[in-house]
Structure 1
Amino acid sequence: MRQDAPTHPSEPVTLAVIGCGQRGKAYTEYALRESANFKVIAIAEPRPKTRKNFKDAHLIDQTLVFNTWQELHEASAQTLKTIGTRLSDAIIIAVQDHMHLEVVLAFAEQGYHMLCEKPMSTNVADCIKVETAVKKAGIIFGMGHVLRYSPYTKAITEIIRSGSLGQLINIVHVEPAGYYHFAHSFVRGQWAREKESCFSLMTKSCHDIDILCHWLSPGTPTRVSSFGSLQLFRKASKPAAAGSATRCLECPMEHECAYSAKKIYLESVQQGIAWPANTIVDGIPDIENVTAALRNGSYGQCVYESDNDVCDNQVVNLEFSNGATASFTMVAQTSLICERQTRMHFAFGEIVGDMRTFTVTDFRTRETTKHSPKDEGGGHGGGDLGLIQSFIEAVRTNRQEPLGTDVTDVLRSHLTVFAAETSRLEGRVVDCVAFEKEAREKVAAL
């Protein structure tokens, strides 16, 4: 572990944020609420209005506001060279997925503790390189697997670890991505095309596979199979009544379409609902700015005329080393928006949950109890807040343990996702142990 003395208990942990969009903002809301615990003191963000709004919200000195991560990195290098200290105790990496590797490598070399938004990276080799860099630097590493950190998940995990219901034998877990959420992010948005980001099982659901691995630990995945495809969001599904229209604002049947950009963005703004309209403009999502984005950008395109290529439905079946099994489904066409549904089957009972509440049934007593863990605020049922709190504690104490995971554990769940996608593409059951061994050997041979 990096050997500097931990931050004095009376001083806030300082962070630099690289990428001030939705995830960067989500992780740093805690700083605005609990400024005595941590403070954002530097940022790198290319969008001028987003950069200014973030700077103003956190009262950041202009000398520590940068347009690019490279500029921040250079300033850090100069500080290390001249006075031997880093700009901050740690960094948050919330840039686009394909940029994660280069940013991790650059700042790990300078010795920064880091919290990286999911996924680690967008291919197997780069994920292994992240693990190597983090271990070499001896730094604390957190991953945006926020599902682990919500009060709901922690309460379920405590029951599993207690053994009160006996062995956990099977989990059925569903990620209802949400019809308009999927259209926003994975049809019109930055995760729509695999070559520019990654396949949807990784970008949307790597933390679902991770939580399954976490719950079934110390068992590890041994075999995986997967099936899935892009079923709806393609030109063949376009309603005939839409004719030749390629943009929602010009479509004769826009008012009848579930995926109307006017409904998803403009009507939401009119109703005072910020998301997802606040993600498609730089600055304030008012009617004028949002309308301009829909007329000129990808978010106004017909979902059946977009150039997306990632799966909108996928199933994954997992076998673990302890004999347990799990099934996972990600599907776009749902009314629920990311409100996971989970059933856990134990030797002597079951747990059924929906990310807000869960019931525990004990077969021996035939009693069912309902649990409603308190949501402390933040996204993902309090998971965003739980993760940043855990990360800050890890940095403050200079220990990885508060995060409850480490970079190798994170890598293993990512490799399970890659193995599942390999199964889908190649039509075979994949041996997870052999998959990891082969992947590591390939990187070692580079």
Structure 2
Amino acid sequence: MGTFKIEGGHQLKGSIQPQGAKNEALQILCAVLLTPELVTINNIPDIVDVNKLISLLRKLGVKIQKIAHGSYTFQADNLDLDYLESDEFKVDGRGLRGSIMIVGPLLARFGKGYIPKPGGDKIGRRRLDTHFEGLINLGAKFRYSKEEQFYGVEADKLKGAYMLLEEASVTGTANIVMAAVLAEGKTTIYNAACEPYLQQLCKMLNRMGAKISGVGSNMLIIDGVETLGGTDHTMLPDMIEIGSWIGLAAMTKSELTITNVSWDDLGVIPNVFRKLGITVEQQGDNIHIPAHTDGYEIQSFIDGSILTISDAPWPGFTPDLLSIILVVATQARGSVLIHQKMFESRLFFVDKLIDMGAKIILCDPHRATVIGHDYKSTLKATTMTSPDIRAGVSLLIAALSAKGTSTIQNIEQIDRGYERIDERLRAIGARIERVN
């Protein structure tokens, strides 16, 4: 098990470029299964979760060639479908939550798709109902082995349908879209997720020959086609990493430039950080954060009541950044209520911040009130364990701002979502060491 040792309390300086988007990569990589032709994908992040999915695709028979750092070609022209029912697949598929999105493409192209109950972050219940209900609406027959926790869908031919999704699930929408593009007739998906990464998937599929309209809205209309072709695709920068670096700059009173952020795809993220009093400057397609040597002050609502920051489906604020917001608020001037609506276990890392001296009241599994220190007292170094990707990076940011040397264990969780994070932080002056 790996460990980070972090000497905190130092200002950072320089520029940092965000990696390719993890959550986009997991969708886009599954889409290569929809065509026997060559697909080239660029800006793929070199992280554990993505590499696990690439390995799974290779075992399924996809021909994969690395052509440069972050750039690969994929060709799914001779798949080993027997692998899907092997004991090896039941282990491989369980190790990655994103593996669920191979089901829609396989069902659409080959008439069957299987997946073991996938793993991932321990942040609360994450239902698969939206995925399978959507595929059943398209005509698939569903089966589930409770003993093996193994799911399957099969269909001779999918047929388009109207469906109103119970929740605007990003991965659920992606799975249904990838199945519907090869279904017979028209499919209408209402209450579809409309995140930029889902838009990227739809744009890629349209370049491959799909007919998807309404991209960017919560109603997608898909006219099924018989086959799809190859394409080239470049992924967006990771908005969660961009938000992480904004928070890091504020907490460490550092001047940082975050380059090539695809500003138009960031939605409300810059403004939410501004509500905490952080100066977020747009410079072309870069974000510049000046050194907050005098601190930053949390805004109140117009009527003077305490600010509440909560997550919501896009274009609302992404739940993946609430952990960062919570940590950044610990050194702000003022108070804020953090309301994590979507996952009931995601705030359970706050005990580690309280150990470091943060003033946080955990109201219930979904809400925490943070009373900022205004730098009048700094966080103190401690030893902690990363429970999931986003909480892990939040603790890392806290450690970089704290006085003394902190230790973070179980950093494999951080590596699942952040590429070479220790090397990249050292390049801007962080004192961080990876120890096995």
Regarding TM over 0.5, the answer is no
Which structure is higher in strand share?
2
Structure-2-length-normalised TM-score: 0.26
Which structure is higher in helix share?
1
Structure-1-length-normalised TM-score: 0.25
